[in-house]
Structure 1
Amino acid sequence: MSHRGHRLAGACTSMVAVGLLVTGSALSAPPHEDPDKNPGADVAVGAYLHYGSPGVERMRELSRWLGGAEVRAGHTYLPGDTWANIEGAPDSLRSWARWRRARADRLFVLNVPMLNHNEARVPDGRVAELIRTGADGAYDHHFERLARRLVALGVPDTVIVLGWEMNGSDYTHRCRPDPENWKRYWRRIVSAMRSVEGQRFLFDFAPNRGPDAIPWTRCYPGDDVVDIIGMDTYDQPPGNSFDEQVTQPYGLGQQVDFARAHDKRISYPEWGLFRNGDNPDYMRDMLAWITEHKPLYHSITDYCPHGVWQCSQNPRSARVFREFLSTRHGRARPSRFDHAD
């Protein structure tokens, strides 16, 4: 949903324990989970800061800006230009792996393209051919190599955000040109990566919010090959208010309901400001939604125009984000969001 070529409801009147997003120690499991089986289920705070090693270095600086809050979700992307990069060639993976291994409660979140030349504006007919080729197994070896590399780096539990925003029109790995073979191809990739000894990957299905080019439910490849139902969501249409972003077809509310029906955790791999500028009301509402619905993790896209720390053009939203996530300001407040309860 966000344009990222360089890197590969009105005001909310009350909040729920927004400060608990920092450590998550007091958050209960999502409604579809048994709290006794998952005590202390929590929300990992993350931010996309840079795709390479500078992103790792900035995690500590962001934590300081948040008053010492632990930023537990490290989020980056594999470039989709060449198969070698999709196989995990970038040296920065070593830096991210060291960061992940330093603490047992951290998550490493890695967006993985499904096809090379992923931002090359490949026409639909060619996309359909490539998807069919992948569905027939021609690209399995690339994903096996990535899986082996991640296991060797000591991050076998990486969260794989595979083929993100597949319901849109930006990427070569989009679903609309051939939804049935796209689902077959997803299943081939997951099977190839799970075949590697020692892996414990979690696969995150993360469409854009809203209908976009195709309803994202038409691209869902099956419960046995999806672990998390994610969503990339920014402050932009469709949905002029936050309430509309919740209630619109294929919006935030439907994501929560779909995940509940399929017994999956949710996530927000990308979220942030966009078309409406510095919007503290949106920031409050999104943080309230996250707190109420307890995703496994969320990651704000922290560069302009979306971000709040590395982007100086959103000072009011930055203040809301910082105060609500700072360990020095966290305190329990009731939320107005109860869509899925």
Structure 2
Amino acid sequence: MAPQHKRFRVRRLLVGVAAVTTSAALAAGHAAGAEVVRVADPRAPAPSPAASAVGPRPAVPEPSRTPRATTPVPGKEVPAFGAFLKSDARGIARMAQLSHWLGGAELRVGHTYLPGNHWSDIEGDVHFLEAWANWRNEKDDRMLVLNVPLQERNEEGVPDDEVRRLLRRGANGEFDHHFRALAERLVRLKVPDTVLVLGWEMNGTTYTHRCGPDPESWKKYWNRIVTTMRSVPGQKFRFDFTPSRGRDAVPWTQCYPGDDVVDIIGMDSYDQPAGLSFDGQVNEPYGLQAQVDFAKAHGKPISYPEWGLFRNGDNPEYMRRMLAWIDEHKPLYNTLTDYCPHGVWQCSANPVSSRVYRSALTGRTDETTPTPTPEPTPTPTAPLPPEGCSPLDLGSWVEYWLGGKLCLRVDWWSRTH
């Protein structure tokens, strides 16, 4: 799919009452044999200086918090994720805004597309790529994903006969120099580990780089491109083979160019066609399960460079299920397409799905260290009051200031009269 280039007075009164009560009790106790028994009471922590300035604040127990079902399990890696927000530098700025909207969640994946109007676009304009390279190099664990068209005039509806001729020309090496120029530019910009999504959605009919008119020439062309780019000194590229989900114009397996020239098996998967359930998207021929099985058979990780809502509108069930699928199958990376009709942050047409996405991903990071279980705190044992002494319950905060419970001897009358 083509990217778009969008309360204090009451507390003081209570403390005053407690003070009067304590004073009266102490006065009576002095004449009547009152004693203070020090009792360790976990309900009465020492007040902070700020609290004591306005009167002690009773401790409020922390409410129990049940983690959301989507909260990552400690010790399990969180799949790297991002979103396509715009091809140019505006997409970079929006990543920080999306992260803020997600409660500081770490977007480790930056995803953009080279234009495919002319070969000069496919070679990569240095000013266009430089902004993305700078973002990538700010942190070591970031990932830059770059979609690369395989032909110029890539979205101009070029007929099959001409596509066939272009594929054969590419298979014969006529366009190698364009891809060498791109590889050299990426290495100079210090992003030699860029993930390159070559000729995405090749099993469809949208692009001039489609596979259908001549799958054999398409595969040979892919091989030439990968071989050419890998020949550039310093490169560490990973090549992502990414069809659209389902059969589309041709089965995407017919376009697979071979394990030696593919590093990742991706899939662009939108909520379509109308009426198809998520289970249908999983189990259809060449669907999500087929991708997982194919990748496993070929020893490759999976990815989802493009995914999002589409023909079924604001569909929270799809959003929940796709996020759960990603958590279960751990793709190398995934990037939501975030513009209408697919998105959740930049598209106000999908408010319910937006809440699902935000709830699931808010605060996510790649922290993999398990949270240690705190040692249980032993229950303190209270000392027994002196024999013949009855403790008075004056409240935990009064007892804190007294240093223990106030105890009134039961024989005070006989001792003084």
Give the equivalent residue in structure 2 for 1:197: 233
Q: Is the 8 A contact 1:19 1:326 kept in 2?
A: no
Q: Is the 8 A contact 1:16 1:288 kept in 2?
A: no
Pair 1:169–1:328, CA change in 2 (3 A): closer
Equivalent position amino acid for 2:135 in 1: W
Equivalent of 1:65 in 101, 104, 112? 101
Give the equivalent residue in structure 2 for 1:289: 325
Is 1:243 the equivalent of 2:279? yes
Give the equivalent residue in structure 2 for 1:275: 311
Give the equivalent residue in structure 2 for 1:120: 156
Give the drift of 1:185: 0.1
Equivalent position amino acid for 1:197 in 2: P
Give, in whole Å, the separation in 2 of the partners of 1:239 and 1:149: 45
Give the equivalent residue in structure 2 for 1:207: 243
Is 1:149 the equivalent of 2:185? yes
Equivalent position amino acid for 1:140 in 2: D
Equivalent of 2:175 in 133, 139, 149? 139
SS at 1:45's partner residue?
A: strand
SS at 1:300's partner residue?
A: strand
SS at 2:111's partner residue?
A: strand
SS at 1:267's partner residue?
A: strand
Give, in whole Å, the separation in 2 of the partners of 1:228 and 1:81: 26
Give, in whole Å, the separation in 1 of the partners of 2:230 and 2:269: 29
SS at 1:88's partner residue?
A: coil
Give the equivalent residue in structure 2 for 1:326: 362
Equivalent of 1:87 in 108, 117, 123? 123
Pair 1:17–1:296, CA change in 2 (3 A): farther
Give the drift of 1:43: 1.5
Equivalent position amino acid for 1:54 in 2: R
Pair 1:329–1:56, CA change in 2 (3 A): closer
Equivalent position amino acid for 2:265 in 1: I
Give the drift of 1:241: 0.2
Deviation readout 1:76-132 (Å, 9 max, x if unpaired): 000000100100115221111010000111100000000110001000000000000
Pair 1:303–1:254, CA change in 2 (3 A): same
SS at 1:109's partner residue?
A: strand
- Any gaps of 5 or more consecutive residues in structure 1? 8-14, 28-39, 331-341
Q: Is the 8 A contact 1:323 1:329 kept in 2?
A: no
Give the equivalent residue in structure 2 for 1:262: 298
Q: Is the 8 A contact 1:16 1:291 kept in 2?
A: no
Is 1:26 the equivalent of 2:75? yes
Give, in whole Å, the separation in 2 of the partners of 1:265 and 1:176: 25
Give the drift of 1:237: 1.7
Equivalent position amino acid for 1:216 in 2: W
Give, in whole Å, the separation in 1 of the partners of 2:177 and 2:365: 49
Equivalent position amino acid for 2:200 in 1: W
TM-score w.r.t. the length of structure 1 is: 0.86
Q: What is the RMSD of the two structures over their aligned residues, measured on CA atoms?
A: 1.9
Q: Is the 8 A contact 2:203 2:255 kept in 1?
A: yes
Pair 1:164–1:229, CA change in 2 (3 A): same
TM-score w.r.t. the length of structure 2 is: 0.71
Give, in whole Å, the separation in 2 of the partners of 1:272 and 1:281: 12
Give the drift of 1:238: 7.7
Q: Is the 8 A contact 2:106 2:364 kept in 1?
A: no
Give, in whole Å, the separation in 2 of the partners of 1:104 and 1:328: 18
Q: Is the 8 A contact 1:19 1:327 kept in 2?
A: no
Equivalent position amino acid for 1:85 in 2: D
- Any gaps of 5 or more consecutive residues in structure 2? 6-66, 367-417
Give the drift of 1:16: 9.8
Q: Is the 8 A contact 2:273 2:312 kept in 1?
A: no
Equivalent position amino acid for 1:26 in 2: G
Is 1:163 the equivalent of 2:199? yes
SS at 1:108's partner residue?
A: strand
Pair 1:227–1:285, CA change in 2 (3 A): same
Equivalent position amino acid for 1:175 in 2: C
Equivalent of 2:350 in 305, 314, 326? 314
Q: Which runs of 4+ in 1 moved over 4 A?
A: none
Give the drift of 1:327: 1.7
Deviation readout 1:176-201 (Å, 9 max, x if unpaired): 00000100000000001000000000
Greater Cα shift, 236-245 or 81-90: 236-245
Equivalent position amino acid for 2:158 in 1: V
Q: Is the 8 A contact 1:51 1:77 kept in 2?
A: yes
Give, in whole Å, the separation in 2 of the partners of 1:159 and 1:304: 25
Deviation readout 1:272-301 (Å, 9 max, x if unpaired): 000011111100000000000000000000
Equivalent of 1:176 in 209, 212, 215? 212
SS at 1:98's partner residue?
A: helix
Give, in whole Å, the separation in 1 of the partners of 2:315 and 2:297: 32
